[in-house]
């Protein structure tokens, strides 16, 4: 039964992360990468008009770029003037002409019955720089969590995350590290050691992070060699719990790593900001219900107690020894909770 749950979860996660991409090994694999000026790159509709995104099929000639800055267009592409996004008016998009003859998302194959290319389903939101191997690596990193689905808390967490993805829309934010909390504790030995490794990497990159504008960005993670351990298929995904308080439901371990690297009392802890994707649920009742479920889950899993727990040092041997007692210590702290 556990393996069936795992298979169903993998299928669900795959569908969510790949955003209905037609994943076929026969796709052309031209090396298109989303420009640094874009938060995300997606397929554009075929036959759309300059001021309307509506059309049919996926264009082979252009792509849609969700801009980081409305005044800065991709430098290596010919792009239209920026437009506010219909469902996220604070963000802007542009449409850019491709420099290659065929983008990687266009199928090579020809439908033998109809003698035409099969259409690719339109992608509303996607990260075209993400490759299948990155997705597979993400699944491997999550294997410990996925195999724990028999745990009711893990099942509830999976349900909460699925609901957030379905009901929320994305808004891009820059938030203080101090405003982020974990949806679940990092209490497995392997995950703890990996988190500590990321914390060591963050400390190595301290001089870079401790420069104006004091922000850990996607671009910085992608280009700074010391921050390579922070690379992932997804960025930091958060949902708002209260004013100035957000919980990470993707990027949880990376967030904890930064908190271990720069603990309370370290000035960088207060200065450092993180580029995140906030999932905003517009319906007030649904939003309040999700908040209540997250708060209850954090209490059941001891997330708030874990937030006060730090390894004695980031030395690998010290972390390894400390990791063996984390579950017991967490359970002890939870048992004394009033």
What's the pLDDT band for 18 if we cut at 50, 70, 90? very low
Say how many Å lie between the first and final Cα of the chain, rounded: 36
Distance CA 126, CA 82 (A): 19
Among 251, 259, 248, which residue's Cα sits nearest to residue 235? 251
Domain boundaries, the chain: 24-117, 132-335
pTM: 0.62
Name the E strands within 231-333.
Answer: 237-242, 245-250, 273-280
What percentage of the chain has pLDDT greater than the value 90? Answer: 43
Query: Residue range 309-326: average pLDDT?
Result: 95
pLDDT in tens, 32-66: 677 878 877 887 887 777 655 555 667 878 888 88
Q: Look at residue 86 in the predicted model and tell me its pLDDT.
A: 74
Distance CA 252, CA 256 (A): 6
- Cα–Cα distance list, 15 to 88, 128, 162, 171, 284 (Å): 23, 15, 11, 21, 27
Q: Look at residue 147 in the predicted model and tell me its pLDDT.
A: 47
Distance CA 273, CA 182 (A): 16
Asked whether 118 and 107 are in contact (CB, 8 A), the reply is yes
Residue 86 φ/ψ, nearest 5 degrees: -60, -45
User: Is residue 302's pLDDT more than 70?
Assistant: yes
pLDDT in tens, 193-233: 999 999 999 999 999 999 999 999 988 998 899 999 998 76
Q: Look at residue 232 in the predicted model and tell me its pLDDT.
A: 79
pLDDT in tens, 258-276: 999 999 999 999 999 999 9
């Amino acid at each position: 039964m556990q393996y069936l749950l795992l298979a169903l979860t993998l299928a669900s996660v795959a569908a969510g992360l790949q955003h209905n991409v037609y994943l076929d090994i026969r796709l052309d694999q031209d090396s298109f990468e989303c420009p640094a000026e874009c938060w995300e790159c997606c397929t554009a509709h075929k036959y759309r008009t300059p001021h309307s995104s509506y059309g049919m099929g996926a264009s082979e000639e252009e792509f849609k770029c969700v801009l980081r800055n409305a005044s800065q267009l991709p430098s290596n592409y010919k792009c239209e003037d920026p437009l506010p996004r219909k469902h996220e008016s604070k963000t802007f998009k542009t449409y850019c002409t491709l420099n290659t003859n065929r983008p990687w998302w266009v199928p090579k194959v020809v439908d033998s019955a109809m003698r035409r290319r099969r259409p690719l389903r339109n992608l509303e939101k996607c990260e075209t720089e993400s490759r299948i191997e990155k997705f597979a690596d993400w699944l491997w990193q999550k294997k410990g969590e996925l195999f724990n689905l028999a745990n009711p808390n893990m099942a509830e967490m999976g349900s909460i995350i699925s609901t957030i993805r379905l009901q929320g829309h994305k808004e891009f934010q820059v938030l203080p590290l101090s405003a982020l909390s974990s949806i679940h504790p990092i209490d497995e030995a392997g995950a703890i050691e990996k988190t500590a490794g990321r914390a060591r990497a963050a400390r190595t990159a301290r001089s870079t992070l401790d420069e104006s504008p004091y922000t850990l960005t996607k671009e910085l993670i992608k280009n700074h060699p010391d921050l390579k351990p922070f690379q992932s298929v997804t960025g930091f995904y958060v949902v708002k719990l209260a004013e100035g308080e957000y919980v990470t439901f993707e990027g949880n371990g990376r967030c904890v790593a930064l908190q271990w690297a720069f603990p309370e009392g370290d000035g960088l802890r207060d200065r450092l900001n993180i580029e995140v994707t906030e999932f905003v649920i517009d319906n007030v009742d649904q939003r309040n219900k999700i908040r209540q479920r997250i708060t209850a889950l954090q209490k059941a899993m001891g997330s708030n107690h874990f937030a006060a727990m730090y390894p004695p040092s980031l030395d690998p041997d010290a972390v390894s020894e400390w990791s063996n007692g984390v579950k017991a210590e967490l359970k002890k702290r939870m048992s004394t909770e009033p």
